[in-house]
Structure 1
Amino acid sequence: MKKTIYIFLISIFTTAFVSAQELTWHTDMGKASEFAMQEKKPLLMFFTGSDWCGWCIRLQKEVFQTKEFKKWANENVILVELDFPKRTPQDDTIRAQNRQLQNMFKVRGYPTIWFVNPEVNSEKQINLTSLGSTGYVAGGPTKWIGKAMSML
């Protein structure tokens, strides 16, 4: 009986820990900006070609899917994925939003990551103040996070 209770408790704590380490990637820039302003965190905007860009996939595997990055991201930023897929269907509104942001930030290659602070101006519009940009950084999550922290 005791073993059953211990196993049950361990599985509950493991599930809670794993779900606490999961990331939320927003695709709606307006909603992500609202969250960022409420939580007083900058946005990490990830411009990616999720289904065709080899460096984007590599960045996901080597950095974004690691426990170190997940912990850091949950504490420091609001994540926004701005995807430019070739094969995966995408909503027209999201596609238009992503193209507009790509042009605004002059993104020419993938992956590109911009860190920005959203702020509401006097006309009730959201302004994005850039903090810096990066891309793929070799060396795993520790090196990538170090580069990101230098901009924040």
Structure 2
Amino acid sequence: MTKKLLILLFFLGSFFMQAQNLAWRTNMTDAIAISNEQRKPMLILFTASGVPDNLQNEIFKTPDFAVWSRDNVVLVKLDLSDMNASDSDREQNLKLKNAFGVEELPEVCFAMASVRKNKTTFSALGKIAYKPGGAKAWIAESNTILHPPE
């Protein structure tokens, strides 16, 4: 009986670990509203089709990142090659890419934003690209961007 219960718990645990879907926002207006409501910075992933998957596979698909992101940031994914996006969204995403100084894809920018009189102002906190070393090292570097030492 105990053995069957342990096996069941093992399979349920592994199922839930695989089922950790991150809530990536693709609409910047919604992301800004959520960011301000939760008082969390946005993690903006600039990406496109055909870019290396290292950042996705080695960082974003880990349980460590899922827990960290839930507690620290609002996830935003801006796919610059998304053919389903409207022309205005594509233009907005390219302007944001240029404004944040993103040169290579994929790259992550951390930012806060405020909206006053229908004008959005972004406050860039920092950028980070993929670096080998795993999720824990990436998260540690992200934390230094989000919480710089005094």
TM-score, structure 2 as length reference: 0.81
How far apart in 2 are the matches of 1:104 and 1:15?
41
CA separation of 1:139 and 1:95: change in aligned 2, threshold 3 A: same
Distance 1:65 1:101 in 2: 25
The normalised TM-score by structure 1 is: 0.80
Give the 3-state SS of the residue equivalent to 2:101 in structure 1: coil
Kindly provide the amino acid, as one letter, of the partner of residue 98 in structure 1.
N
Unaligned segments of structure 1, at least 5 residues: none
CA distance, structure 2, for counterparts of residue 37 and residue 16 of structure 1: 33
| TM-superposed deviation, 1:146 | 0.5
Whether contact under 8 Å (1:27, 1:94) holds in the other structure is: no
Q: CA shift at 1:148, angstroms?
A: 0.4
Determine if contact 1:132/1:151 at 8 Å carries over to the other structure.
Answer: yes
Superposed, which structure 2 residues align to 1:125-144 within 5 Å? Answer: 125-144=119-138
After superposition, the C-alpha distances for 1:46-96 in whole angstroms (9 at most, x for unaligned) are 1112x2012xx11100000111001111111001111122xx633223322
Q: Secondary structure at the match of 1:101?
A: helix
Give the match for residue 52 of structure 1.
50
Q: 1:15 to 1:37 in 2, by over 3 A?
A: farther
Percent of aligned pairs with the same residue? Answer: 32
CA shift in 2, pair 1:20/1:128, >3 Å: farther
Q: What amino acid does structure 2 have at the position aligned with 1:52? A: G
From 66, 70, 90, the equivalent of 2:84 is 90
1:115 counterpart residue number: 110
2:17 and 2:63 in contact (8 A); partners too = no
Look up the SS of the partner of 2:22 in the other structure. Answer: coil
* 8 Å CA contact retained: 2:100, 2:124: no
Q: Could you tell me which of 63, 68, 83 is aligned with 2:59? A: 63
